[in-house]
Amino acid sequence: MKNYSEFGNGEKVLLAFHGFGQDGSAYEPLAKLKPDYKIYSFDLYFHGKSYWNEEKDFLKPKKLKKAFKQFFQEEGIKNFELIGFSMGCRSALALLKYFPKKINKITLIAPDGIKENFWYRFAIRNSYGQKIFSSIIANPAWCIKVLDMLKNLRIIPAGQIQIAKWQLEDKQLRDRIFYTWRLYRYFQFNFKKIGKQISKNKVEVEVILGDKDFIITEKHIQPLVSNIKNYKLSTIPSNHFFLIANYIKQLPQVKSQVQVK
């Protein structure tokens, strides 16, 4: 089982999954606003204290299912809620897929993995893309030059170029991107089936987006929400990277718009 932190001593259970470059401590401030909850905040693999030792294998949703089935038995957990941010939503959605009867609510903050962007799909699922991706990780200098050219030509927004360069210029960050992207490649979902599970088990769904987030926008969540009859959508002042902190900070004032079909 992956490493996790525990916050709070309430009777309700909340399982939390952070985003890229963070660790389980990202949700610690949430405990003060939810005194009736016990929060289990998990370190994703290659983050915090969680490591993946099976170098020639990938993490598959069924492995996650097996690990959490044991975890629920050990902790005596019968029902729970989920919250995930960005990449962490892949784990949250996997648990929703396998344990819908146990879940009361799922909160997805700028959820990654619903609509895969072109670059992720090319780098992870295309044989040529995998070779190029490996080359970039090993020697990013040429890619950084290309990014500067694209910036000057205004083909890609300057903000996206800046983030890409920041990630490529740091070797530790580059390696984490490489291994994390590869590890979660099998986390793909049938949202029609998930939508039916949500309706059948009356799972409450809330989606949080940032008004300055150009990485995950409303169009990125359509494959999921188009298959849900009722869900809550909130847009808060934030860019992508500070969404957890800003969500917690603004939680008492967050007003969701209820979407009904």
CATH of residue 256's domain is 3.40.50.1820
Domain with 124, as residue range(s), is: 118-183
Phi, psi of 139 (to 5 degrees): -145, 85
76 plus 40 within the same structural domain: yes
81 plus 37 within the same structural domain: yes
Could you give the CA distance from residue 232 to residue 219 in angstroms, rounded to a whole number? Answer: 15
25 plus 100 within the same structural domain: yes
112 plus 206 within the same structural domain: yes
Domain C-terminal end among 163, 183, 203: 183
pLDDT 10s per residue in the chain (261 long)?
Answer: 568 999 999 999 999 999 998 999 999 999 999 999 999 999 998 887 777 765 556 678 888 899 999 999 999 999 999 999 999 999 999 999 999 999 999 999 999 989 877 777 888 888 888 888 888 888 888 887 887 787 777 777 777 777 777 777 888 878 888 888 878 888 899 999 999 999 999 999 999 999 999 889 999 999 999 999 899 999 999 999 999 999 999 987 665 655 545
177 plus 204 within the same structural domain: no
106 plus 222 within the same structural domain: yes
Number of domains in the chain: 2
What tokens appear for 13 in the block? 């259970």
125 plus 33 within the same structural domain: no
168 plus 137 within the same structural domain: yes
Could you give the CA distance from residue 182 to residue 61 in angstroms, rounded to a whole number? Answer: 14
List residues bridging with 179 in a β-sheet. Answer: none
Domain C-terminal end among 183, 208, 229: 183
Size of the chain, expressed as the number of residues it contains:
261
35 plus 98 within the same structural domain: yes
167 plus 216 within the same structural domain: no
pLDDT score for 258: 52
pLDDT score for 175: 81
173 plus 248 within the same structural domain: no
The SS3 call for residue 44 is coil
Which pairs count as long-range contacts for 251-258, CB under 8 Å and 24+ apart, including other chains?
A: 251/30, 251/33, 252/33, 254/208, 256/206, 256/232, 257/232, 257/233, 258/230, 258/231, 258/232
94 plus 196 within the same structural domain: yes
